[in-house]
Amino acid sequence: MRMASGTQRGERRADALSKRRIVEAAIAILDAEGERALTFRALAARLATGSGAIYWHVANKDELLAAATDDVIARVMTDAGDGTGPREAVRAIALGMFDAIDVHPWVGAQLSRAPWLTAMPRIFEGIGSRLQALGVPEEAWFDSTSALVNYVLGVAGQNAANARLHGPGTDRAAFLGAIAEQWERLDAARYPFVRRLAGRLADHDDREQFLAGIDLILTGIEAALPDRARQGGHV
Amino acid sequence: MRMASGTQRGERRADALSKRRIVEAAIAILDAEGERALTFRALAARLATGSGAIYWHVANKDELLAAATDDVIARVMTDAGDGTGPREAVRAIALGMFDAIDVHPWVGAQLSRAPWLTAMPRIFEGIGSRLQALGVPEEAWFDSTSALVNYVLGVAGQNAANARLHGPGTDRAAFLGAIAEQWERLDAARYPFVRRLAGRLADHDDREQFLAGIDLILTGIEAALPDRARQGGHV
DNA sequence: ACCTGAACACCGTTCAAGT
DNA sequence: ACCTGAACACCGTTCAAGT
């Protein structure tokens, strides 16, 4: 007796294993239970199969994580980035990444593991093409894009790290408050600056601060723009 | 018969276990053989003891990695950062971190795992206090420092990731060349910008590009400076 | 107080055997 | 071609037993 019910030649059962389904299941586990919960055993259980079956579709865990990350980043790049002007587009792309990593913190960690061949070209293209539209001269493309991308990746990594510390579902405010409290208790002679900063830690808005950083870099980029391009991008 | 040779009351044998010695051994393994090589078994073998002995001095692997990272960062902060003016000091601190991560790539990965209570205050203090000296007004301290720190962490994470891809001791140039080649082969319709960038990937100088990003952010920070502070820091 | 090393629980990955 | 699931090698961590 065949397992398939209503399948025809060349078709696949709706629940047949595939890289797409595996990646989707992986994302679901990562989102709901965090990075530590993603094991081949858990994945196999969720997909009602053996752990070895997954290896038929995916080479190893690194490839699985890269594919999951690429999935999320691809969505960001198609969804965001069509603001009015090029400056708005850069901000929109950056914010899109921030928000995506807010929902999928593990993406932030994964991006620090060099998906140079999958997610990274998407990010470079998304941001760099907008800088080009902003009128940044070709000699400055690489450095400018790299500055924005690295900043975004830095924030992404920290958000991922924070999410790892307070497991999925814990509230951020209490977490930040606890750190602020520690910072206030640091040695006054060695950490005068950090102690004065501590008060702002607890009540600052991550998203606003992220955007403030983007704006600082954009201001730096625009300061080096040829006069012609300063009035909001070229035609 | 006692193991000790020439030890007196209250003294420790030169080769007695201690957190310091454990952390030093861990750093040696991480530097020489990479992150994957650091296991409690390898560490115990190197220290000629049982793996359980390490747990008497160190709570777990996370604490060990945090301590190793803190060690490296602490050295950067005491060694670097005394340039002529505050702007030079910021650049010196940033470059110090870049160079440290170049030598110890695993630090870059570890910083993306939130050592909020050890390395992070050092970094914030090192950079933030110089921005203060630069004349940045208090309302802007947090955002400005955070922008620079996140950028540095982003670069750090990428350098760590690259080092992980080409194991310790492989040459960077060939590695970048391989990626540039892949980027040139991307779909022309979807990645026009990245394809044009690919040529620059292979021959660019990481360190110079890093500094260019720092300068962009510093320019953005200085653009918002009150007039009084623009001429090179306050008195 | 500090060290030893076997044991435990768990993981990524492989592979002979199935369909 | 694709799936099953036991087995392998390895890891972080624990802990009873030693000194």
Helices (H), chain B: 19-33, 40-46, 51-57, 61-79, 86-103, 105-111, 119-134, 138-165, 172-184, 192-203, 206-223
The minimum CA-CA distance between B221 and chain A, rounded to whole Å, is 6
- For residue B140, how many C-alpha atoms fall within 13 Å in the half-sphere facing its CB? 21
pLDDT for B4 beyond 60: no
- For residue A89, how many C-alpha atoms fall within 13 Å in the half-sphere facing its CB? 20
A219/B220 CB distance under 8 A: yes
Query: pTM score, two decimals?
Result: 0.92
> How is residue B156 annotated by DSSP?
H
The gap between the terminal CA atoms of chain B, to the nearest Å, is 66
**Cβ contacts of A149 on chain B, cutoff 8 Å:** 154
CA distance A229 to A86: 11
Domain residue ranges of chain A, discontinuous segments joined by +: 1-58
Domain A1-58 -> CATH class: mainly alpha
DSSP run (H or E) holding A147? helix A138-165
pLDDT for A175 beyond 90: no
Query: Looking at residues A31-48, what average pLDDT do you find?
Result: 96
Cβ of B150 less than 7 A from strand D: no
Cβ of B62 less than 7 A from strand D: yes
B158/A112 CB distance under 8 A: yes
Greatest CA span in chain B, whole angstroms? 78
**pLDDT tens digit sequence for A104-125:** 999 999 998 877 889 999 999 9
Nucleotides of D under 7 A from a protein CB: 2-7, 10-16
CA distance B177 to B139: 44
Q: Which pLDDT score, from 0 to 100, does residue B11 have?
A: 41
* Percentage with pLDDT > 70 across chain A: 88
Please name the member of A147, A179, A212 whose beta carbon is closest to the beta carbon of B151: A147
Query: Looking at residues B139-156, what average pLDDT do you find?
Result: 97
CA distances from B46 to A87, A133, B65, B67 (A): 54, 56, 17, 18
Average pLDDT value over all residues in chain A: 89
Which carries the bigger pLDDT value, residue A230 or residue A155? A155
Nucleotide nearest to B55 (CA to C1'): D13
Residues 9-48 of A with CB under 7 A from strand D: 16-17, 48
* Percentage with pLDDT > 70 across chain B: 88
Please name the member of A112, A153, A155 whose beta carbon is closest to the beta carbon of B109: A112
Residue pair B45/B25 in contact (Cβ under 8 Å)? The answer is no
How does residue A1 score in pLDDT terms, banded at 50, 70 and 90?
Answer: very low
B165/A200 CB distance under 8 A: no
How does residue B133 score in pLDDT terms, banded at 50, 70 and 90?
Answer: very high
**pLDDT tens digit sequence for A195-204:** 999 999 988 9
pLDDT for A84 beyond 80: no
Cβ of A51 less than 7 A from strand C: yes
Query: Looking at residues A146-167, what average pLDDT do you find?
Result: 91
**Cβ contacts of A165 on chain B, cutoff 8 Å:** 114, 116
B125/A191 CB distance under 8 A: yes
Cβ of B19 less than 7 A from strand C: no
Average pLDDT value over all residues in chain B: 89
Cβ of B46 less than 7 A from strand D: no
